[in-house]
């Protein structure tokens, strides 16, 4: 039998065996996939159904008409997007240098620093948020330091506003941004950096033309986690915003607790789902584009 025919039959048999294994694994995972799919899909379908019902149970488009006809809806979406964008910008500003330091450190030092980075995640978000309320309050530690050092004459309003909400959100999301970026920096071949330096590139040129393009996938993944996650934040804006910062999640809660209006709240929930889907799709497209783009392009 010719060698080429034998190798062709072998490849066919291997491909058939691989398909059989995939089918087996899919069959084993199918019950779990069905349970998870139903648990994720049924509540979404219920919310969509509720968004088209009036308080009396009649099918109507009035919930969406009221939302799109209200200037408060536009302000709510602006606040939500602004909070998410500002949180992402600060996470990138603080997280990229931190991830670079972690990637450049020795394994032992990097592990110790990672423990400090992950430490906030070991505490409940409710406890952390009230902690910031104590630190940033009018009589809190931050204002005591600022007034005591003479930098300001009177305590600053650092909570119950956009600033306090932003601080709490960055504190929560920064570790989740650093982890994928650190993994991307760590996987970069050091020979590429040495080659750039040996060709006369400065530190900033190497960072801009070699390191950041090679780590673009991790940066895009971290950005997606931060931006999409913060679109639905509730606890931090509710406590640190003091009722003055109203993203979508806060308005949904008010429609339910104050007005018992499930239709309007569900309509807002559907709009939030659509916003998350649009943002996630756009960021996924950017990530694929960055991965296809060659380093230094």
Buried b (16+ CB within 10 A) or exposed e, 73-112: beebbebbbebbebbbebbbeebbebbbebbeeeeeebee
Tokens standing for residue 195:
């080659």
pLDDT in tens, 228-276: 889 888 989 999 988 888 899 898 888 888 877 888 888 888 988 888 8
- Tell me, yes or no, whether 134 and 207 share the same domain: yes
- Can you give the pLDDT of all 297 residues of the chain as single tens digits? 454 444 667 778 788 888 888 888 888 888 888 888 888 888 888 888 888 887 777 788 888 888 888 888 889 989 999 999 999 999 999 999 999 999 888 888 888 888 888 888 888 888 888 899 889 888 888 888 888 888 888 888 889 999 999 999 999 999 999 999 999 988 888 888 888 878 888 878 888 888 888 888 888 889 889 998 898 889 899 999 888 888 998 988 888 888 778 888 888 889 888 888 888 888 777 767 766 654 444
Helix, strand, or coil (residue 53): strand
- Tell me, yes or no, whether 183 and 261 share the same domain: yes
- Tell me, yes or no, whether 7 and 127 share the same domain: no
- Tell me, yes or no, whether 1 and 67 share the same domain: no
Question: Tokens 């996938």 map to which residue?
Answer: 217
Domain presence at residue 76: yes
Question: Tokens 């799709």 map to which residue?
Answer: 281
Domain of 282?
62-292
pLDDT in tens, 40-54: 888 888 888 888 887
């Amino acid at each position: 039998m010719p060698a080429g025919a034998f190798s062709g039959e072998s490849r066919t048999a291997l491909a058939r065996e691989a398909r059989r294994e995939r089918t087996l694994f899919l069959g084993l995972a199918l019950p779990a996939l069905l349970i998870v799919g139903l648990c994720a899909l049924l509540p979404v379908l219920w919310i969509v159904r509720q968004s088209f019902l009036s308080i009396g149970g009649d099918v109507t488009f009035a919930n969406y008409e009221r939302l799109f006809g209200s200037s408060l809806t536009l302000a709510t979406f602006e606040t939500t997007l602004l909070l998410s964008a500002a949180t992402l910008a600060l996470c990138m500003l603080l997280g990229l240098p931190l991830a670079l330091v972690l990637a450049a450190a020795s394994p032992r030092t990097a592990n110790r620093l990672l423990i400090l980075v992950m430490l906030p995640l070991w505490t409940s978000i409710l406890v952390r948020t009230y902690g910031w309320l104590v630190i940033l309050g009018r009589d809190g530690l931050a204002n005591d330091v600022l007034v005591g050092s003479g930098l300001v004459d009177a305590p600053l309003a650092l909570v119950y506003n956009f600033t306090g909400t932003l601080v709490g959100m960055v504190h929560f999301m920064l570790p989740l941004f650093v982890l994928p970026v650190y993994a991307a920096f760590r996987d970069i071949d050091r020979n590429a950096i040495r080659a750039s330096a040996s060709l006369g590139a400065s530190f900033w040129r190497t960072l801009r033309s070699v390191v950041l393009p090679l780590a673009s996938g991790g940066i895009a993944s971290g950005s997606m986690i931060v931006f999409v996650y913060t679109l639905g934040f509730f606890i931090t804006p509710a406590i640190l915003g003091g009722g003055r910062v109203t993203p979508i999640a806060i308005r949904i809660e008010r429609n339910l607790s104050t007005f018992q209006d499930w239709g309007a709240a569900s309509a807002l929930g559907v709009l939030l789902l659509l916003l998350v889907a649009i943002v996630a799709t756009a960021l996924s497209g950017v990530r694929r584009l960055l991965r296809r783009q060659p380093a230094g392009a």
